[in-house]
Structure 1
Amino acid sequence: MARTKNTKQLAHIDCPGGGQVWVDGTTLYIGHMRQPTGTTIVDVADPARPKILTKVELPAGWHSHKVRVANDIMIVNHERQGTDGVAEFGGGLGIYDVSKPAEPKLITKWRTHGKGVHRYDFDGRYAYISPTAEGYIGNIAMILDLKDPAKPEEVGRWWIPGQWKAGGEDYPWDNWTPPRCHHPLRVGDRLYVSYWHHGFYILDISDMSKPKAISGVNTSPTFPHPTHTCLAIPEPLKGRKVMVVADEDVAKLWPAAPAFTWIYDITNEHLPIPISTFQVEGVDPDGAPQPPMRGCHQPSERFKGTIIPFAWFAKGLRILDIADPFAPKEIAFFEPDPPEGFELASSNDVTMDSRGLLYLIDRQRGVDIVETSVL
């Protein structure tokens, strides 16, 4: 039986597990973790009675676990998964016309070298992506212009100096985990970029052709979890500009307690300073090492005011109020039952629609549609 506080389940969609959910209007898009299912499109006009409209499938050896939609354009990632399947399928982005959601039409595939694209942001014109690229070690940050979706054009790219092997840069991480751009998110003329075990960077993209680093912070190896998402809050809180930084409870550099989320003061962009943290009560009682996927995963990229929903792996949906950024507090939660055959839930992503409804996907199986009284 699910545990709840200020939340109510409206419906459950039985589908393969996934990496991301996104809602455009009254249509839900689900990016799945494992092929053959790539993307499922669902009508949620009646959230208590969701209807699956169609599915987009992928060949073995690839997945498209991320999906974003704007202006009737759907972007899904193509990323290598395992060693099976046809290498010629290739990594990159699938770009679709979803003006009729039940009939998605492939416009084109943007291809990149190597493993493919992991995560990205998309505002309807520009995509801010984390691809592997020829001549580079690890994923980098890149901006694509989709003014003509049939002909995506690279606008600019940025990487940590040392990644560009083909450019002759000295590589300083032989005894460290390789750099990997994980997730760029844009707010105004800034790009907030998580870089896995290399922390995060704030980039000035006022000239998109020449992104410039303003600052960077890395809490590894003191804290051994990778940096997953950097969510800048548009409005000041207590007179300060702040950013939520989520560490993901996977890929630990050494055995450790579960990952948590940070709040940084970025009023001075050249010197980001952590001012608070949050961990779900009871998850880390004594600081002892625990298996992965007990702690934080990521916040919703859509939120309302100071109320931010989180996917917290085994602890499901957590909803935080950061009105006081020095003391974030939990105001609601929804802890789903584990999928059949699994001991724990594995809540991987959450998003919000224009009605304030929340969509929580499990990494292994299923999506819950949740109503809350705090939004």
Structure 2
Amino acid sequence: MAQTKNTSLISHIDCPGGGQVWCDGNTLYVSHMRPPHGTSAYDITDPRNPKHLFTLEIPMGWHSHKVRVQDGIMIVNYEKFREGAPDFGGGLGIYDVSTPSKPRLISKWQVTGQGGGVHRFSFDGRYAYISPTEAGFVGNIVKILDLADPASPQEVGRWWIPGQNVAAGEHYPWDNFVMPRCHHPLREGNRLYVSYWHHGFFILDIEDMARPKLVAAVNSSPAHPHPTHTAMPMPGLIKGRKILVVADEDVAKLRPSPPAFTWFYDITDERQPMPISTFQVDGVDIDGSPRPPMEGCHQPSERLTGTSIIPFAWFAKGLRLIDIADPFRPKEVGFYEPDAPEGYTQPQSNDVTLDSRGLIYLLDRQQGVDIIQTNVF
């Protein structure tokens, strides 16, 4: 039986597992982890009875495991996933979903060269902030695309860690370490908050989007074994401070280690981010012993309620609701810990988001979406 606190299950969608969920109005979009399943949509007008609208397929050898929708435009990623269909090409699929049951491909934006494609991105209705591979560069970089005309996306700006642009002759200093890899950028105002895997996170000034400027950089690797998955600013101030949520992902460990957790940084002085607290789910790290991957932290919801409560996807522990009203002492105020999907040994909660009603959508990367309500918001 699922374990709960201040939460209850409304309904379950039995669908292939995925990487991201996103709500736009009364439509839920699910990006799947494994081909041939690409992206699906469900009518959630009645959240107790979701209705399937469509599923887009993806060629073998690629996956389309991220999705964002705004103002009738849906963006999905295309990224290499094992072998197959080499001519398909990585990048973004841009769709008209103004009629959610009838998606229409507007354009496909492709990365240069034969790289892996786009891993993850955010989208504000005009600009897409993406993490593509790029010919001549090692790993993924930061790129900003203007989708004012979604049929013809235009690059506005790009940024990378010096050393990634080997084609330009930059010295590459990481021969004995994990290559740099932008995971994804998140925008707030004229700042981009960029997670960079085992190279930490960066704060960029994008007042001039054509020329992003470095404001600050923090990296806990290699002392800390887990990669930085998300760097997300909390809206407004909490206890008079600007807070950045920095989630490490419990995969790709540099060495055997306990499960990953999340950090909270004070970025009131953004030039010098200061870690002020961490959070780990009770019972996940019992005695500091190494554990297999995918038991600890994955990521927070990138859509928030305006409160100090953050929904988190914790791989083997489902949904966690973390209150940072006191950012020095995060506390758990609710959770929904699902059973493992049939045929699996544990949950792998991969993403979580909210709709305008405050309902929570928890996606398992193996199978299914849980629709959950809570009384803590």
Interval of TM-score (by shorter of Structure 1 and Structure 2): over 0.9
- Specify the alignment match of 1:296 in structure 2: 297
Deviation at 1:86, TM superposition (A): 1.4
CA distance in 1 between partners of 2:214 and 2:89 (Å): 30
- Output one character per residue of 1:348-368: Cα deviation in whole Å (capped at 9) or x when no partner: 000000000000000100000
**Segments ≥4 residues shifted beyond 4 Å:** none
CA distance in 2 between partners of 1:347 and 1:337 (Å): 11
- Output one character per residue of 1:90-125: Cα deviation in whole Å (capped at 9) or x when no partner: 000000000111110000000003110000010000
Deviation at 1:369, TM superposition (A): 0.3
CA distance in 1 between partners of 2:269 and 2:255 (Å): 32
Q: Residue 215 of structure 2 aligns to a residue in which SS?
A: strand
- Output one character per residue of 1:145-167: Cα deviation in whole Å (capped at 9) or x when no partner: 00000000000000000000111
Consecutive unaligned residues of structure 1, counting only runs of 5 or more, are: none
- Specify the alignment match of 1:52 in structure 2: 52
CA distance in 2 between partners of 1:308 and 1:38 (Å): 28
Deviation at 1:183, TM superposition (A): 1.2
Deviation at 1:223, TM superposition (A): 1.1
Question: What is the root-mean-square deviation in Å for CA atoms of aligned residues?
Answer: 0.5
Q: Residue 87 of structure 2 aligns to a residue in which SS?
A: helix
CA distance in 2 between partners of 1:335 and 1:233 (Å): 25
- Specify the alignment match of 1:95 in structure 2: 94
Give the structure-1-normalised TM-score.
0.99
CA distance in 2 between partners of 1:337 and 1:102 (Å): 31
Q: 2:349 aligns with which of 323, 347, 350?
A: 347
Q: Residue 316 of structure 2 aligns to a residue in which SS?
A: coil
CA distance in 2 between partners of 1:58 and 1:281 (Å): 39
Letter of the structure 2 residue corresponding to residue 307 of structure 1: I
Residues 328-343 of structure 1: pairs in structure 2 closer than 5 A: 328-343=330-345
Give yes or no for the alignment of 1:360 onto 2:362. yes
- Specify the alignment match of 1:244 in structure 2: 245
- Specify the alignment match of 1:38 in structure 2: 38
Deviation at 1:220, TM superposition (A): 0.8
- Specify the alignment match of 1:277 in structure 2: 278
CA distance in 2 between partners of 1:237 and 1:47 (Å): 32
- Output one character per residue of 1:182-234: Cα deviation in whole Å (capped at 9) or x when no partner: 01000010000000000000000010000011110001111100000011012
Q: Residue 13 of structure 2 aligns to a residue in which SS?
A: strand
Residues 247-266 of structure 1: pairs in structure 2 closer than 5 A: 247-266=248-267
Letter of the structure 2 residue corresponding to residue 2 of structure 1: A
- Specify the alignment match of 2:7 in structure 1: 7
Consecutive unaligned residues of structure 2, counting only runs of 5 or more, are: none
Q: 2:311 aligns with which of 300, 309, 312?
A: 309
CA distance in 2 between partners of 1:220 and 1:135 (Å): 25
Deviation at 1:321, TM superposition (A): 0.6
- Output one character per residue of 1:285-319: Cα deviation in whole Å (capped at 9) or x when no partner: 11110000110000000112211000000000000
CA distance in 1 between partners of 2:238 and 2:360 (Å): 24
Letter of the structure 1 residue corresponding to residue 63 of structure 2: H
Q: Residue 308 of structure 1 aligns to a residue in which SS?
A: strand
Residues 59-70 of structure 1: pairs in structure 2 closer than 5 A: 59-70=59-70
Deviation at 1:263, TM superposition (A): 0.2
CA distance in 2 between partners of 1:223 and 1:51 (Å): 44
Q: Residue 89 of structure 1 aligns to a residue in which SS?
A: coil
CA distance in 2 between partners of 1:321 and 1:40 (Å): 31
Letter of the structure 2 residue corresponding to residue 98 of structure 1: V
Report the identity percentage: 68
Deviation at 1:3, TM superposition (A): 0.4
CA distance in 2 between partners of 1:233 and 1:36 (Å): 36
- Specify the alignment match of 1:24 in structure 2: 24
Q: Residue 166 of structure 1 aligns to a residue in which SS?
A: helix
Q: Residue 87 of structure 1 aligns to a residue in which SS?
A: coil
Deviation at 1:75, TM superposition (A): 0.1
Q: Residue 222 of structure 2 aligns to a residue in which SS?
A: coil
- Specify the alignment match of 1:71 in structure 2: 71
- Specify the alignment match of 1:318 in structure 2: 320
Letter of the structure 1 residue corresponding to residue 359 of structure 2: L
CA distance in 2 between partners of 1:67 and 1:30 (Å): 7
